[in-house]
Amino acid sequence: MTALTPLRNIPQVNIFRKGDVFVLFGELFGRGYANGLVDEARKAGMTIYGITVGRRNEDGSLRALTDEELATAEANLGGKIFNVPLMAGFDLDAPAGTPTPTDMISEMTLKSWQTDTLDFTHIEKCREVGVRRFKDAVAKVMSELEGKIKDGSNVFFAHTMAGGIPKVKVFLAIANRIYKGRGERFQSSRTLVDSDLGRLILMNFNEVTANTFKYLIEGTAAIRSRMEKTGGQVRYTAYGYHGTEILIDGKYQWQTYTNYTQGQAKMLLEQNAEQAWAQGVKATVFNCPEIRTNSSDIFVGVELSLFPLLTALKQEGGGAWADAQWNACQSLLQPGNSLEDLLKRIEDYNVSDTMKTFRNYAAWPMDNTAALADLMIGTSDAITDMHVDRKALITDHLSALVLEGTGPLMFHEASAPASPVLWLNHDIIAKQLALIHSK
Ligand SMILES: NC(=O)c1ccc[n+]([C@@H]2O[C@H](COP(=O)([O-])OP(=O)(O)OC[C@H]3O[C@@H](n4cnc5c(N)ncnc54)[C@H](O)[C@@H]3O)[C@@H](O)[C@H]2O)c1
C-alpha cells in the first residue's frame, strides 16, 4: 500500500520555457483535468503536441482521425496531433479470426452475467494483441516526435488516460445499478468484482489506466536518453485518484468516493511511477480530487466532496476572491436555499456513521453498500434540486476551480518532484488558488 503523501507546500520551481516540448498523452476534453496542465505549458511558451486514441469504424476496427476531425482536435489543443490511433485496452482486440473480449461478453444478459464464465486463456491472448498494438503505435508516435525535439530541450509528458469499460449493453445496465441504483435497483459492486465479467473489466482498466503510463515511459527511453545527454530534462506526470483530504469537522480528513472500481488500476499506476522513479526516471502520479468531467459524470455523488472546498478557500487566505466564489455559488441556488444550509447538509452527511465507515484508507477501494447508495445518491439528488438550473451546478464551478489549481501545482512540482506519488488535497489547491487570485 502506498503511504499517504500529500503535497503541503506550493512548488515554486519552473524548468520549462519557450522551445521546450509538452506532450499530452490522451485526448483533451472541455472539462478534463488535462486543461490545467495545457494552460501552464502554453503560458510557459512550450510547443504543445498531442495524440489521438483514434476512432472506431462500424465493424469495430480502429482508424486514424479524418482531416476534419484532426483539424478540430488540433485547434482545441493548440498544437499538432500525431494521427496514430493510441486507443488502449484490449476489449476489441483478438488474434485474427478469434472472438474479441467484447464479442465474448456481448451475449451476456442481466439475468446471466453473474454466473457466466469466460475463457481467460483466450482473454490473455487478446490482451497480448492489444498491448502489442498499443506499444507499436507508441513507437510510431515517438519516432515522429523524436525529429521535432531539439537537443538539450526539456520535455514534459502528461499522461491523462483512464478508462476501459467495454461497450456492451449489459454493462450499461449493470453500471446504472452499481453507480446510480438505490433501493430495489441497488447492486453491490462486489457482485461485479466477483464475476468473470468484472475480472475482465478490471484487467482492461489496468491496461488503459495504469500500464499505458509504463508503455509511455518505456517508449520514450531514446528521447529521454538523448535529452539527458545534451543538457535537457524529461518529466512524466499522471493523474491518479486515491481519495482526497477535505474539510470535515474543521479538519482536513481523508475521504473517498465508493465504490471506485478503478481503484486497483490506480494503485498499479502508482506502482508504475514508483518503479520508474527507482530507475532514476522523474515520473509522478498526482492523486487529484473528485471533480465533474465527461469521465466522472456516471458516478452520482462523486461531486459531493467538492462543496467543502468553499470553506477551504476562505480558510487558506482566499479573502475577497473567496467571498466572490461564495456569491457566485449562492447565485446558482433557488431563492430560499442558502449556501450555509447546503454546507451544513454536506457536513452532516460526512460525519454520519455511514460515511465514516468508508474513511478507511487501508481498505481502499471498499465495496459499496445499499445504505451508502441511499445516503450518497439521495444527498446528491437533494442538492441538485436546490439549484435554479440542473445544468448550472455549484459543482461545475468548483470543478473548474480545482482544475485551475492543479495545473500550476503539477506543472511546477514536476520541475523538481519530491516523490513518485503525491496527493493534491483541498488545502494545497485552495492555497494555490488564493495565491493566483491575490495577484
Ligand atoms: N474526474 C475526477 O474526479 C478525477 C479525479 C482524479 C483523477 N482523475 C484522472 O484524471 C485523468 C483525466 O480524466 P478526467 O476526469 O479529466 O476526464 P476526461 O474524460 O477529460 O479524460 C479521460 C482521458 O482518458 C483518455 N481515454 C479514455 N479511454 C481511453 C482508452 N481506451 N485508451 C486511451 N485513452 C483513453 C481520454 O482520451 C482522455 O484523455 C484520468 O486519469 C482520471 O482518472 C479524474
Q: pLDDT averaged over the chain?
A: 97
Nearest residue to 236 via CA among 335, 154, 119, 359: 154
Percentage of the chain with pLDDT > 70? 100
Give yes or no for residue 372 having a pLDDT over 70: yes
CB contact at 8 A, 422 and 5: yes
Q: Report CA dihedral (131, 226, 160, 49) to the nearest 10 degrees.
A: -110
Q: Is 291 in the pocket of ligand 1 (CB under 6 A)?
A: yes
Nearest residue to 156 via CA among 214, 99, 225, 238: 238
Cβ atoms within 10 A of the Cβ of 428, count? 25
Give yes or no for residue 295 having a pLDDT over 90: no
Tens digits of residue pLDDT in 170-189:
999 999 999 999 999 999 99
CA 33 / ligand 1 centre spacing (Å):
8
* CA-nearest residue, atom 12 of ligand 1: 160
- What does the block give as the cell for 373? 447508495
Architecture of the domain whose range is 21-438: 3-Layer(aba) Sandwich (3.40)
Residue 217's pLDDT band (cuts 50, 70, 90): very high
**In b/e form, how buried is each residue of 111-147, taking b as 16+ CB within 10 angstroms?**
eebbebebeeebbebbbebbbebbeebbeebbeebee
Cis peptide before 365 (omega within 30 of 0): yes
Tens digits of residue pLDDT in 70-121:
999 999 999 999 999 999 999 999 999 999 999 999 999 999 999 999 999 9
* pLDDT recorded at residue 88: 98
Residue 1's pLDDT band (cuts 50, 70, 90): low
* pLDDT recorded at residue 165: 94
Q: How many CA atoms, within 13 angstroms, populate the side-chain half-sphere of residue 386?
A: 21
**For ligand 1, what atom is nearest to the CA of residue 87?**
32
CA 295 / ligand 1 centre spacing (Å):
6
CA 317 / ligand 1 centre spacing (Å):
31
Cβ atoms within 10 A of the Cβ of 248, count? 20
Q: How many CA atoms, within 13 angstroms, populate the side-chain half-sphere of residue 19?
A: 6
Residues forming beta bridges with residue 254, ordered by sequence position? 245
- What does the block give as the cell for 190? 462486489
Q: How far is CA 402 from CA 33, 226, 397, 416, in A?
A: 9, 35, 9, 22
Q: How far is CA 52 from the centre of its chain?
A: 17
* CA-nearest residue, atom 5 of ligand 1: 290
Tens digits of residue pLDDT in 296-322:
888 999 999 999 999 999 999 999 999
Q: Is 286 in the pocket of ligand 1 (CB under 6 A)?
A: no
**For ligand 1, what atom is nearest to the CA of residue 164?**
31
What is the domain partition of the chain in residue ranges?
21-438
* pLDDT recorded at residue 438: 87
Give yes or no for residue 336 having a pLDDT over 70: yes
What pTM was estimated for this model as a whole? 0.98
User: Contacts by 181-190 with C-beta closer than 8 Å and gap 24+?
Assistant: 181/373, 182/370, 182/373, 182/374, 182/377, 182/378, 183/370, 183/374, 186/370, 186/373, 186/374, 188/367, 188/368, 188/369, 188/370, 189/259, 189/261, 189/367, 189/368, 190/367
Q: Is 88 in the pocket of ligand 1 (CB under 6 A)?
A: yes
Cβ atoms within 10 A of the Cβ of 338, count? 12
* pLDDT recorded at residue 294: 87
Q: How far is CA 239 from CA 75, 175, 227, 330, in A?
A: 24, 23, 24, 30
Angstrom distance (rounded) from CA 21 to CA 153 = 7
Percentage of the chain with pLDDT > 90? 97
pLDDT top residue among 3 and 203: 203
* pLDDT recorded at residue 68: 98
Tens digits of residue pLDDT in 385-409:
999 999 999 999 999 999 999 999 9
Angstrom distance (rounded) from CA 134 to CA 215 = 8
CA 159 / ligand 1 centre spacing (Å):
9
